[in-house]
Amino acid sequence: MDMQPETAAAPGVRFKMIGSTAVLHIDNPPVNAGSHAVRAGLAEGIARATRQGATAAVLIGAGRCFVAGSDLREFGKPLAPPDLPQVIRLIEEAPFPVVAALHGVALGGGFELALGCDYRLAAPGTQVGLPEVGLGFVPGAGGTQRLPRLAGVARAIELICSAARIPVDVAQEDGLIDRIVTGDLLEGALAFLAEAPQPKRRALDLTPPAEAPERIEAAATRALRRGKGRPNVAEAIRLVRASAGQDAAAALAEERAVFQRLRLAEDAVALRHLFFAERRAATVDGLDMAQARRISRVGVVGGGTMGQGIARAFLAAGLPVVLVERDQASLDRAMAGLAAHLDKAVAKGRLSANEAAGRRAALTGALEERALAGCDLGIEAVFEDMAVKQQVLARMEAALPPQAVLATNTSYLDIDEMGAALTDPQRLLGLHFFSPADVMPLLEVVRAQATSDVALATGLRLARDLGKQPVVARVAEGFVGNRIYAAYRRRAELLVLDGASPEQVDAAATDFGFAMGPFAVADLSGLDIAWAMRKRQAPQRDPQARYVAIPDQLCEAGRLGRKTGAGWYDYPDGAPMPSSEVAAMIGAARQEAGIAPKVPDAATIQRQLLAAIVNEAALLLDEGVAQRPSDVDVALTNGYGFPRWRGGPLHWAAAQQEAAVAADQDALRQAVGHGFCVGPVARVLDQIRTEQKG
Ligand code: NAD
């Protein structure tokens, strides 16, 4: 076959002719993000193929994928021409068929580019999807018009609004992929073109397949519910529905206009901030990740709520687990719990019987730490008690190979003190999972004073392997997340003591966008854990500091939360209802403290809850507990139900008027009173604003 040497069409795309087929290699490492250079290169490549009389063109990605998405760094500013719709128009108007040959991922603008081609071939293992709605905007290069024409309106609503990535076999069933190519992808694409004349076949010329209107209606209702009322979800649905109309050009123009407006709107700015913040949170400046140890077998000591969840997380990631409990009865309970969980997943269709059998076979139970001899990571999740943890860790250290990494899942205890009981405290770090550990995305990776770079890098690598979002913290009571949450909860309780009802505070929090209010959360997780901690801390309590005794009284009355059928709320039919018993307790507490209750409005409640979070975040940044402000945003959105579309508490605060933030902090100081620590809020927010400008 006649082959020309490869030349750059423009930076970002390489061009060569193979016979009469133009091959455009998209080459923009590491993930071929659709940058300006790539768009310009594609436009030039198509023009050149036309000039050279090509009979077909193949678009293919160099390196590990086709195109992982548009380059989000360009999204905060005007997009330089040619824009992606212009590139796709050139492809559609080219006098020859254009084949997209996909591998790795084809996401967002990358998948829209593929949808604009005449044919889509893909290697096994490819994933495709349109993640734009998850980033606060809508697809802007024809995704809302071409996808429904190929897959149907209902399915397009589902795919676009869920921002899901789907595997290639599913995409083929949906009509989005023409052929799965095994073997060399480019050769497969050339063979496809050589097999038979492949006519132009624009998705835009198709009409969406006929569908029952109820199916579309149901998909739209589901998407709106899942989309929590965000405006871009409703817009995406409206645009997809317009694909059933005749005027494709007008629908495309409307899509672009909505895209241009939403990509610069608050939600998209916030979600873009989180996109970059999450990637940054997984890094530590100057840390060489190459020293991370490869983990192939994990020992978990303690098989309670957390130990079981942690074991499930490792098993799901394909890592064999040895689970150690203190006695046979506890071990039996833990193993039975894990088995029941697998059975349930199979019964619900979330896991195949085969996969479940594999996970069962990868799990071993044991009664002594000696069983950890073959593990390269040992993590303890035993009772939250320093002496118990020190003993367990010392036995784990003796049993594990000398290279192995040791971790504790402690929520509050001092990891430096735990390390003092070890021969080599350098191998110890905190891996603070959230409950349920196999579901919650956040993982705090805690760097104790002695923790080695190897252990830290291993923890960060492990987070990635488990599909978790790491946030690095230094040792401090409650690390990043729980420490901030404690300040938030304390402010919520003071709001109640001073006049609000628990349901008013919860409603204000959920109106702000929190998944749940603080009192509903307390009822769900159980009031007894914090009660035990308060009792432990009672001797050190500052007698002059304001103390809200209501949660103690709830516990004394047996109201431990949902698990006892009552907490801050009653649960007559499972749903929370305001409780007259609790209202009476609150009234008595106010009277005892001589408080004339004043009911704050919802906006004041929200601003005070946020002020507590922001003040505590500023304190722990000042102390170096968190690495950077954006890590706080990542922790709160991934572990505490803070609304993602607000970008996290510090991103939110940096966008507020400075005077308003200062007034909120002052009101917070007055409400908390004696013992309040003023965080350097203005300085932290200044730092964020400076970074935003740069
Ligand atoms: P749990 O009481 O449910 O489980 C503790 C388990 O450890 C029990 O099954 C117990 O039998 C076992 N155990 C105790 N001593 C042992 C020993 N010497 N050897 C082996 N096993 C032993 O507690 P949990 O909620 O799973 O919490 C465990 C740890 O995780 C604590 O440090 C806690 O602070 C932390 N944590 C808890 C949560 C949560 O939401 N529950 C979240 C994050 C972290």
Strands 377-380 vs 577-578: parallel, antiparallel or unpaired: unpaired
pLDDT of 4 over the 70 cut: no
Pocket lining: 381 vs ligand 1, CB cutoff 6 Å: yes
Q: Give strand pairing partners of 15.
A: 7, 24
Distance 424 CA to ligand 1 centre (A): 23
Report the distance separating Cα 271 and Cα 267, nearest Å. Answer: 6
pLDDT of 248 over the 80 cut: yes
Q: Give one DSSP letter per residue of 104-161, joined into a string.
A: SEEETHHHHHHHTSSEEEE-TT-EEE-GGGGGTS---SSHHHHHHHHH-HHHHHHHHH
At what angle are helices 602-622 and 629-639 packed, to 10 degrees?
130
Average pLDDT over residues 225-233: 91
**Binning pLDDT at 50, 70 and 90, where does residue 214 land?**
very high
Nearest residue (CA) to ligand 1, atom 28? 381
Neighbours of 202 (CB within 10 A): 18
Active-site residue identified among 74, 92, 93, 112 = 112
Closest-lying ligand 1 atom to the alpha carbon of residue 303: 9
| Whether the bond into 82 is cis, omega within 30 of 0 | yes
Q: Is 199 exposed, middle or buried (0-12, 13-18, 19+ CB in 10 A)?
A: exposed
Q: pLDDT of 590-606, one tens digit each?
A: 999 999 999 999 999 99
Pocket lining: 409 vs ligand 1, CB cutoff 6 Å: yes
Question: Three-state DSSP class for 224?
Answer: helix
> Measured at the alpha carbon of residue 274, what is the angle toward residues 271 and 280, in degrees to the nearest 5?
155
Distance 301 CA to ligand 1 centre (A): 9
Q: pLDDT of 470-489, one tens digit each?
A: 999 999 989 999 999 999 99
User: Taking a C-beta distance cutoff of 8 angstroms, is the pair 16, 23 a contact?
Assistant: yes
Report the distance separating Cα 62 and Cα 471, nearest Å. Answer: 32
Active site residue 195: no
**Binning pLDDT at 50, 70 and 90, where does residue 2 land?**
low
Pocket lining: 392 vs ligand 1, CB cutoff 6 Å: yes
Closest-lying ligand 1 atom to the alpha carbon of residue 408: 32
In angstroms, how far is CA 606 from the centroid of its own chain? 24
Q: Give strand pairing partners of 432.
A: 444
Pocket lining: 410 vs ligand 1, CB cutoff 6 Å: yes
Nearest residue (CA) to ligand 1, atom 4? 304
Report the distance separating Cα 613 and Cα 628, nearest Å. Answer: 15
Distance 380 CA to ligand 1 centre (A): 8
Q: pLDDT of 624-664, one tens digit each?
A: 999 999 999 999 999 999 999 999 999 999 999 999 999 99
Nearest residue (CA) to ligand 1, atom 3? 304
Pocket lining: 301 vs ligand 1, CB cutoff 6 Å: yes
Cα separation values, 370 from 218, 220, 295, 408, 423, Å: 55, 55, 18, 18, 17
- Please report the ipTM that was assigned to this predicted complex: 0.96
Pocket lining: 649 vs ligand 1, CB cutoff 6 Å: no
Cα separation values, 44 from 14, 15, 91, 306, 378, Å: 10, 9, 11, 56, 55
The order of strands in the sheet holding 442-447 is 363-366, 321-324, 298-301, 377-380, 405-408, 428-433, 442-447, 469-474
Q: What percentage of the chain exceeds 70 in pLDDT?
A: 99
Distance 305 CA to ligand 1 centre (A): 7
Closest-lying ligand 1 atom to the alpha carbon of residue 380: 29
pLDDT in the model for residue 71: 87
Neighbours of 82 (CB within 10 A): 17
- The C-alpha R_g of the chain, in whole angstroms, comes to 28
Distance 80 CA to ligand 1 centre (A): 55
pLDDT in the model for residue 490: 96
Neighbours of 544 (CB within 10 A): 9
Nearest residue (CA) to ligand 1, atom 8? 304
Active-site residue identified among 44, 74, 92, 132 = 132
Active site residue 132: yes
pLDDT of 8 over the 70 cut: no
pLDDT of 693 over the 90 cut: no
Q: pLDDT of 289-329, one tens digit each?
A: 999 999 999 999 999 999 999 999 999 999 999 999 999 99
Pocket lining: 308 vs ligand 1, CB cutoff 6 Å: no
Helix H or strand E encompassing 165: strand 165-167
Tell me how many helices (H) and strands (E) the chain has. 28, 20
Pocket lining: 303 vs ligand 1, CB cutoff 6 Å: yes
Pocket lining: 384 vs ligand 1, CB cutoff 6 Å: yes
CA dihedral sign of residues 329, 333, 338, 339 = positive
Residues 151-184 as b/e (b if ≥16 CB within 10 A, e otherwise) read bbbbbbbbbbbbbbbbebeebbebbbbbebbeee
pLDDT in the model for residue 10: 59
Helix H or strand E encompassing 578: strand 577-578
Q: pLDDT of 231-247, one tens digit each?
A: 999 999 999 999 988 78
650, two tokens: 């510090």
Q: Which domains occur in the chain, in start order?
A: 7-262 (3.90.226.10), 296-475 (3.40.50.720), 482-693 (1.10.1040.50)
Report the distance separating Cα 432 and Cα 444, nearest Å. Answer: 5
> How many alpha carbons lie under 13 Å from residue 126 in its C-beta half-sphere?
35
Strands 321-324 vs 363-366: parallel, antiparallel or unpaired: parallel
Collect all residues with Cβ–Cβ distance below 8 Å to 691 and sequence separation of at least 6.
Answer: none
Most informative mutation of 323, 325, 331, 383 for ligand 1 (most atoms within 8 A of CB): 383
For residue 593, give the nearest of 496, 473, 448 by alpha carbon: 496
**Binning pLDDT at 50, 70 and 90, where does residue 11 land?**
confident
User: Taking a C-beta distance cutoff of 8 angstroms, is the pair 575, 523 a contact?
Assistant: no
Q: Give one DSSP letter per residue of 239-294, joined into a string.
A: HHHHTTSS-HHHHHHHHHHHHHHHHTSHHHHHHHHHHHHHHHHT--TT--GGGPPP
For residue 516, give the nearest of 451, 466, 583, 562 by alpha carbon: 562
Pocket lining: 436 vs ligand 1, CB cutoff 6 Å: no
Report the distance separating Cα 419 and Cα 475, nearest Å. Answer: 12
Q: pLDDT of 262-288, one tens digit each?
A: 999 999 999 999 999 999 999 999 999
Average pLDDT over residues 198-223: 93
Give me the count of residues in the chain: 694
Q: Give strand pairing partners of 167.
A: 127
Distance 349 CA to ligand 1 centre (A): 30
pLDDT in the model for residue 57: 98
Distance 115 CA to ligand 1 centre (A): 50
User: Taking a C-beta distance cutoff of 8 angstroms, is the pair 197, 136 a contact?
Assistant: no
User: Which parts of 400-539 fold into alpha helices (H)?
Assistant: 415-419, 453-465, 481-498, 502-512, 518-525, 528-537
Pocket lining: 304 vs ligand 1, CB cutoff 6 Å: yes
pLDDT in the model for residue 197: 87
79, two tokens: 């997009």
Most informative mutation of 300, 301, 305 for ligand 1 (most atoms within 8 A of CB): 305
Q: pLDDT of 113-146, one tens digit each?
A: 999 999 999 999 999 999 999 999 999 999 999 9
Neighbours of 564 (CB within 10 A): 17
Nearest residue (CA) to ligand 1, atom 31? 384
Average pLDDT over residues 65-89: 92
